[in-house]
Structure 1
Amino acid sequence: MQSEACKSLEKQGYQFFSKKSSAALKPCMWNKRALLGGDMCYKHQFYNISSHRCVQMTPTLKCNQRCLFCWRSMEYEVEEEEECPPEIILERMHALQKKSLAGYNWILESSTATEKLWNEALNPDMIAISLSGEPTLYSKLPELIELFKRGNNTTFLVSNATKPEMIERCHPYQTYISLDAPDKKTYLSVCRPEEDFWGEIQKSLSLLKDRRSAIRTTVVKGLNDFGAEEYAKMYQSSGADFIEVKGYMFVGHSRQRLVRENMPEHDYVRDFALEISKYCDYKIIDENPLSRVVCMRRL
């Protein structure tokens, strides 16, 4: 698998688990920042996740949506010849993570990481299945999650909710569902799915009340920042533990589809969350202005 798309992703820091699959990992900005003794991401603040011990990965880069606000390239897709077996992903994960972080080794003069942080980073305990693509399109996702759990890893599964039958089979520590529209018309225009999955998304939301879960809404100014009452109704009926209302960030390939004015300031995101809270039991319990995100919970 040596396509131009693959080579481009490798230059961006993607590490592929096998030559024929699109399973990959890539440490996020917060992983590296925390490793150097800096700030951790908002998931540490909200859920007590140690950013430097987190692996950001995906079992597939395939996706069945073309969201306008997504940072990934949709013009140059990585073609997948076959799925990577869960056992191979588990076997190679630590080595690929270490390779990705090689430049941050505490023994290098250029690094400000400590030996303690470095050793902790090489012994990750959190797997975020969220890098890119839609992980529920990977047929062996339940088996992969169980393998991660046997290694005493906390697992976050981030999904666009279009495959409720797969979500039902998966039992991660926390299930993240993206809900980026207050109604079907907005969903079709903003998320641009291969087919109408609005009904499937509603079914996925109904599965959240019986598991630890979070719904994340990415607010794109001028595109989906309305319908507070409709968002509230879906939040309320889902029974999700947490709601994240997060501002769209003008980064990556989304800059070719949107403009900087679509990126809301934190106060704008917070005000929208407050408007939603008028119509449901979820209230703001925490916020992170740097990431332009608020966390809501039923009170």
Structure 2
Amino acid sequence: MESTPLLSCSNKCVFCWRHGTNPVGTSWRWVVDPPDLIFNGIKENHYKKIKMMRGVPGVSSSRFVEAMRIRHCALSLVGEPIFYPYINEFLGMLHKERISSFLVCNAQHPDQLAALQHVTQLYVSIDASNKDSLRRIDRPLHRDFWERFQRCLDILRERRFRQRTVFRLTLVKDFNIEDEIEGYADLVERALPCFIELKGVTYCGTSTAGAAGLTMANVPFYQEVCDFVVKLNDALNKRGLGYGIAAEHAHSCCVLLASDRFKVDGKYHTLIDYEKFFDLLEEKGPDGDFGPEDYIGAETPEWATWGNGGFDPRDQRVDRKGRPIERP
């Protein structure tokens, strides 16, 4: 399930798929819906959406049945979820039903970040490596946006043994790729996240994005993303920071770097043991003393590791007319 408890954001990113139609602001000025209203509403509407897929060609019966039990929630649809005043209560409702929480924030709300309780995985959008580039691509509304950004990095460093943290880099050609490798390495060295996820931007049409100068020409090819990842990995290794290329998802134009903290007997374990996470949460509480290593999952499947493409062999790719695509 992908959702958000808040529509507003404090940035106007050039690649935002909402094209500026969502509200923006630096302070809270809206009616606050209680967390149970939002939680019950998103579950109800999620299941309605799934039920609409019954009988649709290409939808397998086993996948349909599986989808009728929410297991995971990505809080990243739109807006800035940690700015919602009752975010911890909302997370508690997810976790009570053993629904994992993947929360994405924009590194502009350090106070809320510092107060955030346990989430399954915490993503922070790192869309640029320096102040000028961040201003250009994220178009933040806070005047002290760079100071806020840096404070968030320091909080991540403090919390790295408590939260499973991820730098999410959305690569946009002519905006945040060229000559920024060392700058990104500086940010990684400052926050030492568990993972670094690099993905090519998804182009969502013109509208306000076009006015900002974003076109299909700004979407990197997968090979360009890979080249960038290799260079960043080399820069991190030269600094002795202990990262490596752990996994790739070529059809999503996405590659994952992981800290050596998640290497067991020379193999990356990037998966999550969700049942262990919930057991720890129930035992120790939302502010409990446990960290990412305590719920490391199984070894990363061979087909998902660097150089193997990342497409699950149990699935079948098809073209636009539904015809099977033969594997190379």
Aligned residue number for residue 95 of structure 1: 44
Aligned residue number for residue 112 of structure 2: 166
CA distance in 1, matches of 2:42, 2:251: 30
C-alpha displacement of 1:287: 1.2
Corresponding residue SS for 1:116: helix
Deviations 1:56-81 (A, max 9, x none): 00111101101111111215649985
Corresponding residue SS for 1:290: helix
Aligned residue number for residue 128 of structure 2: 181
CA distance in 2, matches of 1:218, 1:160: 12
Deviations 1:108-149 (A, max 9, x none): 3x3443443223212111011000111122111111111111
Aligned residue number for residue 13 of structure 1: none
Q: Match for 1:132: what amino acid?
A: V
Q: Match for 1:144: what amino acid?
A: F
Q: Match for 1:56: what amino acid?
A: E
Q: Does 1:287 align with 2:253?
A: no
C-alpha displacement of 1:153: 1.0
Q: Does 1:123 align with 2:69?
A: yes
The structure 2 residue matched to 1:84, chosen from 27, 33, 43, is 33
Q: Match for 2:167: what amino acid?
A: I
Further displaced range: 251-260 or 203-212: 251-260
Q: Does 1:244 align with 2:197?
A: yes
CA distance in 2, matches of 1:245, 1:116: 31
Corresponding residue SS for 1:104: coil
Distance 1:133 1:76, change over 3 A: closer
Deviations 1:7-45 (A, max 9, x none): xxxxxxxxxxxxxxxxxxxxxxxxxxxxxxxxxxxxxxx
Aligned residue number for residue 273 of structure 1: 229
TM-score when scaled to structure 1?
0.76
The structure 1 residue matched to 2:96, chosen from 150, 175, 195, is 150
Which structure has the larger Rg?
Answer: 2
Q: Match for 2:164: what amino acid?
A: R
C-alpha displacement of 1:256: 5.2
Q: Which runs of 5+ in 2 are unaligned?
A: 237-241, 261-328
Aligned residue number for residue 271 of structure 2: none
Corresponding residue SS for 2:103: strand
The percentage of counterpart residues that share the same residue type is 29
Q: Match for 1:243: what amino acid?
A: I
Aligned residue number for residue 258 of structure 2: 297
CA contact (8 A) 1:103 1:111 kept: no
Aligned residue number for residue 3 of structure 1: none
Aligned residue number for residue 67 of structure 1: 13
C-alpha displacement of 1:255: 4.8
CA contact (8 A) 1:64 1:134 kept: yes
C-alpha displacement of 1:164: 1.5
Q: Match for 2:145: what amino acid?
A: F
Q: Match for 1:167: what amino acid?
A: L
Q: Does 1:219 align with 2:147?
A: no
TM-score when scaled to structure 2?
0.69
Distance 1:76 1:213, change over 3 A: closer
Distance 1:165 1:83, change over 3 A: same
Aligned residue number for residue 184 of structure 2: 231
Q: Match for 2:228: what amino acid?
A: F
CA distance in 1, matches of 2:40, 2:105: 24
